Amino acid sequence: MQVFDQVRDMQLQSLSWRAAGWRIAFVPTMGNLHEGHLDLVREAARRADQVVVSVFVNPLQFNDVADFQRYPRTLNDDLRQLSKLNVAAVFTPGEAAMYPEGRESVTRVEVPQLTDELEGAHRPGHFTGVATVVTKLFQAVLPDVALFGEKDYQQLLVVRKLVADLNLPLEIVGRPTRREPDGLAMSSRNRQLSADERRQATRLYATLQWVAEQVRAGQRHFAELEAGAWEQLVTAGFEPEYISIRSAADLRLPAGGEPLVVLGAARLGRVRLIDNLRI
């Protein structure tokens, strides 16, 4: 397993693989890897000849400086885990490699409309940071296919639209959210929960399940369901930011008859949790 920390070195390796006719799969991460990430890596190995994983904590997508500073960085452990899988290369650029003239002056990529609500409304600038870094990572790794987890559902749709709008020649694959045995969505942020908060955290997924059950039973007063879910989270000790039932295809407000997804974000102590559930 090779480790590259410079964009040009990563590009040269990928160009060599492409010249040999090999298919490249890419899994972008911010490190602190858990089983959800490793599932993406295993699926990547099934879809390509060479697998590249990136580890880069992207400052552009954090609207909270404190959140960026305390985001867990475990590169040595990440490399140890990846060395046991079918990974050809790990791309570990520093901020200077990704933003050589500084993050403030970098050309930015924006995906309008889809990024205005939900996560976009509560984390100003977040999706511009995501779209910018993903575009730069795609240009460094030059993959044929890239894999993302559905836990960050809105992010997955943003990346798909980005790739379509910019005519990028790669496939985007979403993988179902991996969960702990008690239902909590796997996330690097879970390690920041106290023992009591970790027990409480399962209520977010349970609340989304309740909403989904009500919709499947024929309830169509979505605003009432969202209000009921909000109350459940408050009672469970959360500070909700949003609970919303949307069209699964594009996150528009439901028009009737289309597949749906319920999405939620809430704070538990200093940890912000997000989750979603297809209906």
Catalytic residue IDs: 37
Strand partners, 226: none
Chain centroid offset of residue 136 CA: 16
Tokens 């997508």 belong to residue? 61
Is the distance from CB of 261 to CB of 279 less than 8 angstroms? Answer: yes
Q: 240 vs 167, 175, 190, 250, 275, CA distance in Å? A: 37, 26, 17, 23, 12
> What does residue 254 show for φ and ψ, rounded to 5 degrees?
-60, 135
Using CB atoms within 10 Å of the CB of residue 176, give its burial: 0 to 12 exposed, 13 to 18 middle, 19+ buried: exposed
- Ramachandran angles phi, psi of 168, nearest 5°: -75, 135
Cα–Cα distances (Å) from 28 to 11, 25, 165, in that order, read 15, 10, 20
